[in-house]
Amino acid sequence: MSDLLLRGGRVLDPSSGRDAVADVLVRDGLVASVGERLAADRVQIIDVAGLVVAPGFIDLHCHLRDPGLTYKESIASGGRAAAAGGFTTICCMPNTDPVIDSRGIVEYVLRTAAAESPVRVLPIGAVTKGQAGKELAELAELAEAGVVAFSDDGRPVATSSLMRHALEYSRITGRPVIDHCEDVTLTGGAPANEGPVAARLGLRGWPAAAETIIIARDLELAALTGGRLHIAHVSTAGGVELIRQAKRSGVPVTAEVTPHHLTLTDAWLLGEGLRWPATGTTSLDRRAPYDTRTKVNPPLRGDADVEAVIAGLADGTIDAIATDHAPHAVVDKLCEYDEAAFGISGFETALGALLALVETGAVSLERIVEALTVGPLRVLGDLDGRVSPGRIAEGCPADLVVFDPAHPWTVDPEHFLSKGKNSPLDGVELPGRVVLTMVAGKVAYRA
Ligand SMILES: [Zn+2]
Ligand SMILES: [Zn+2]
C-alpha cells in the first residue's frame, strides 16, 4: 500500500465542522495527519488544489442485482460504479434472486464483495422470507451473519403485525428496519405520480397518500415498540411532515431522500416545461414524452413535493441522501411506459446532480456532504469499523473522496461503469465530478 499526500485541497468534514485548505497525509491505509503544509518524505504527492476533499460517501440504499440478475449489475460492476460516484460504503438491498434472506446468501455477498468490489459492500437482509410478506425471515441469524439492516424494499412490509415483530427484532439486534412506504392496494403498480401530468399522459396515478399511509402506520409501530425505523426514499410533502412531527415526539425514526426526488419532477415524463434542477432556473429543451428512464418507484413528484423534500433535507428532518441506484438492462426499459421496469441508475450522477442543487442556493454543500457521510453513518451505527468512518481524522481509515465542484460534464450513460445505462439525465450538463475515491488508503477510482 502506497503512502500518499493530498496536497492543498479544501478539506470539508461536516463531522468536525472543518472547512479549510489543508493537506491530508495517508499512511498504511489510515489518515496519518491533517494540517497545513505537511512534510512529505517518500510519499506520493497528489496536488488537489481547487478540489474538495471529503469523507467517502456512504450509500444506505442501492440494488446490485447479485446474485441472480447480474446481466443488470453485479457486485463487481456496481462496486466500481459506486467508487466512480465517490461512495466508499454501499448497502445493497435484498431483492436479488435468491433473496438475501439466509446466512448462505449473506455470506455469498460478503465474500464476493471482498474479492471483487473496490468499495465496502454491506448487505441488507429481507424482513420476510423471500420478501413474500408472509412470515418473518430469521432476523437474529441474519444480523449475526452480517446484515446491517432489514428491508423488504421494492415493496412495503406487508402487514402491521409483521412490521411490529420486525421492529421488535430491530431492538434486539440493533439493526434498523428500512421501510419502502407504498400502500400497494392504492398504487396497483401505477407508473406515475397521481396528478395533472399522469392525467394528461393517460397513465395510472400513484397517490401521495399511498406513501403517507404506510409512514403513519410504521411511525405508530416504532413508537409502540421502540424499534429503529428508517424511511426509504421519502418523496412527498406529507411524508416529510409526518417524520418531522414524529422526531419532535421522540419516535426513533430516520429518513433518506434520493438525488432524483430532490432534482426532478414529473414534468420529465411529459418532456416539456423542464427545468434543471427542478427548483432551478435553467430551462431545458423539450424532450420526448413517456421516456421510460424517468420511471421510478416512488415516482417523480410535482413541484410542491420536491420543494418539501429539499426543505426536509435542509432542516435535518431527512438525515441522509441515498441513491436507490437501480440498474436495469436496456430491454427492461425498451417498452411502453406502463410495462417498463422501475428504477434509475444513480451512483455516477448523484454528486453532480446534488452540486446542481447546491447551485440553486436551496441547500449548502456542507449539508449535502453531511447527508452523504455522517447522516447515513448515524443510521447504521459504526458497526465495529465495517462502515466508512464518515470523517477525516487522524487514525481513521482513509476512506476519502476528492471532487471538483466546478468541472462541468455532460452525462453520457454509455460511459457509466455501471451496467445500468438507465438515466433520465442522459445529455444533461452537471456542474462537477468525482476525481478520486479512496478506500482504506487504496485508490478505488481515479478519473
Ligand atoms: Zn423502495
Ligand atoms: Zn430501492
Residue 1, pLDDT score:
55
Element at 4 (helix H, strand E): strand 4-13
Q: What is the pLDDT of residues 274-326, one digit of tens each?
A: 999 999 989 999 999 999 999 999 999 999 999 999 999 999 999 999 999 99
**What's the 297 CA to ligand 1 centre distance in angstroms?**
6
pLDDT band at 217 (very low <50, low <70, confident <90, very high): very high
Q: What is the pLDDT of residues 3-41, one digit of tens each?
A: 999 999 999 999 999 999 999 999 999 999 999 999 888
**What's the 273 CA to ligand 2 centre distance in angstroms?**
28
**What's the 91 CA to ligand 1 centre distance in angstroms?**
13
**What's the 59 CA to ligand 2 centre distance in angstroms?**
12
Distance CA 442, CA 4 (A): 10
Residue 421, pLDDT score:
98
Q: For this structure, is 324 an active site residue?
A: yes
Q: What is the mean pLDDT of residues 129-137?
A: 98
> Please, are residues 177 and 150 in contact by the beta-carbon 8 Å criterion?
yes
Residue 40, pLDDT score:
81
Topology (CATH level 3) of domain 55-390 = TIM Barrel (3.20.20)
Distance CA 177, CA 163 (A): 9
Q: What is the pLDDT of residues 104-118, one digit of tens each?
A: 999 999 999 999 999
Mean of pLDDT over the chain: 97
Distance CA 266, CA 118 (A): 35
Domain ranges of the chain: 55-390
**What's the 65 CA to ligand 2 centre distance in angstroms?**
11
Ligand number nearest CA of 155 is 1
Q: What is the mean pLDDT of residues 407-422?
A: 98
183 pLDDT higher than 80: yes
Q: What is the pLDDT of residues 352-388, one digit of tens each?
A: 999 999 999 999 999 999 999 999 999 999 899 999 9
74 pLDDT higher than 70: yes
The percentage of the chain sitting over the pLDDT mark of 70, rounded to a whole number, equals: 100
Active-site pick, 324, 332, 399, 404: 324
What residues sit around ligand 2, an ion, with C-beta below 5 angstroms?
Answer: 153, 324
Q: Which of 421, 373, 325, 416 is nearest to 62 (CA)?
A: 325
State pTM to two decimals. 0.98
